[in-house]
Amino acid sequence: MAGGGKETPRQKMVGMMYIVLTALMAMNVSSSILEKFAILSNSIELSSNAKLDDTEKLFQHIEASAKEMGNRPADMAVVQKAVELRNATNEVKKFIDYLKNTLIEQTGGINEVTGYPKNLKSDAEVATLMLKEEKAD
C-alpha cells in the first residue's frame, strides 16, 4: 500500500474488505443520523437567509453612497457590479431551493410531526434528479 511496492494478496484482500465494510456502513446509516443532517440543513438555511439580509443592507448602502457622491461613473460601475453579483447569487439560491423542494416533494413531503422530510433514506430520487435529469451539471 504505502511505499509504492506491490501489494501481497493478503493486503489486497484486507483493502477490499475495508471497501466493502465502508460501503455496508454507508448503506445502513440510521435515520437518527439523517435527522441530524436535516437539523444541520435547517441551521445552514437560517444562517444563509441572515447573510442574504445583511448583504441586501450592504447593497442598499452602496447604492445610497453612490447617489450621495453624485452618481459618478466609477461609483455607478461599482453599483452595476453589485447588482450583477446580487442577481447571480439570487439565481443560485433559487436553483438550490428548487432542487431541495423537488427532492422533498418526490420523497413524500414533510412529516407534520417532526418537520423533516418523510423519507430521509431515499437516495433513488436524488440519483434520478441529479444524474438522469442532469441537474448536477
Where is pLDDT greater, at 7 or 56?
Answer: 56
What integer pLDDT is reported at residue 88 of this predicted model?
93
Residues 135/125, Cβ–Cβ less than 8 Å:
no
Residue 78 binned pLDDT confidence (cut-offs 50, 70, 90): very high
Q: At residue 32, does pLDDT exceed 80? A: no
Angle at 20 between CA 16 and CA 5, to 5 degrees: 20
Out of 3-7, 39-43, 50-54, the most confident range is: 50-54
Report yes or no on whether pTM surpasses 0.75.
Answer: no
Residues 119/105, Cβ–Cβ less than 8 Å:
no
What integer pLDDT is reported at residue 17 of this predicted model?
86
Using a 10 angstrom Cβ sphere, with 0-12 exposed, 13-18 middle and 19 or more buried, the burial of residue 79 is middle
CB proximity list for 124: less than 8 A, separation 6 or greater:
none
By percentage, how much of the chain surpasses pLDDT 70? Answer: 86
